[in-house]
Amino acid sequence: MPMLIITLMLFLMTTPCSAAEMTVGKFSAEDLSGWNDKPFKGKTTYELAKNDEKNVLKAHSVKAASGLIKKLSVDSKKFPILRWSWKIEHTLKKEDIKTKKGDDFAARVYVVFPRTFFWRMRAINYVWAAKMPKDSFAPSPYTSNSIIVAVESGDEKVGTWVSEERNIYEDYKKMFGEEPPLLGGIAILTDTDNTQDEVTAYYGDIFLQGP
């Protein structure tokens, strides 16, 4: 998805936020307000659905890549903890982080740190990988300004809900060696355009939390 970084940068606008805990996505309340669909290559279908007796966001991708993006303007030092839950039906066996043809994942939570010029934007992809070892990270094959982090790996937890928590402030400093600019947005991406695969993923509520 070579246009992914540019599209996210052009989309993000300043929206002030302040709270001890900030709700980014409240899918359990059947609420998609503030989330916008952004196609990159084809279209992943995102819809509110029931899964395991709870309201969630369902993503279904068939040889396509598009995301749901929520605009923010947040100091990640004040809200460093990102929490979410997700579930996938299977991983993508053709995943290969070293090549553009393998840059697909069944589920991603994409954290975007925009700057004045799009080529200086930074991003962290938290993914459910097939082959990347858990907790490993590597630059995107499209740009070193986007780092991919394998929060989950493999099929052991496929079909079950998994809760995640990351310190995006510390992750950013570790991966880019600098203080982060304001967090400009969070995106959900289930993409299969490069691997020409098909997959279904589910996303639970998303929160930012103070230290």
Which tens digits make up the pLDDT trace of 82-137?
A: 999 999 999 999 999 999 999 999 999 999 999 876 667 899 999 999 999 999 99
Least Cα distance to 48 among 40, 57, 39 occurs for 57
Type of residue numbered 83:
R
Q: pTM for the whole thing?
A: 0.88
C-alpha 91/C-alpha 106 separation (Å) is 6
Distance of CA 42 to the CA centre of its chain: 18
pLDDT, residue 7, reads 52
pLDDT exceeds 60 at position 173: yes
Domains and CATH numbers, the chain: 4-209 (2.60.120.260)
Looking at per-residue pLDDT, the higher value among 165 and 8 belongs to 165
Rounded to the nearest 5°, which phi and psi values hold at 10?
-65, -30
pLDDT, residue 18, reads 43
| Stretch (H or E) spanning 171 | helix 168-176
91-94 long-range contacts, CB within 8 A, separation 24+: 91/128, 91/129, 91/130, 91/154, 91/155, 91/158, 92/130, 92/192, 92/195, 92/197, 92/199, 93/130, 93/197, 94/195, 94/196, 94/197
Which tens digits make up the pLDDT trace of 58-86?
A: 999 999 999 999 999 999 999 999 999 99
Q: Which two tokens stand for residue 121?
A: 């934007």
C-alpha 157/C-alpha 144 separation (Å) is 29
pLDDT exceeds 50 at position 49: yes
Residues of the chain above pLDDT 70, percent: 90
pLDDT, residue 1, reads 52
pLDDT, residue 15, reads 42
Which tens digits make up the pLDDT trace of 10-28?
A: 444 434 444 588 999 999 9
CA distance readout (Å), 16 to 13, 179, 183: 10, 20, 11
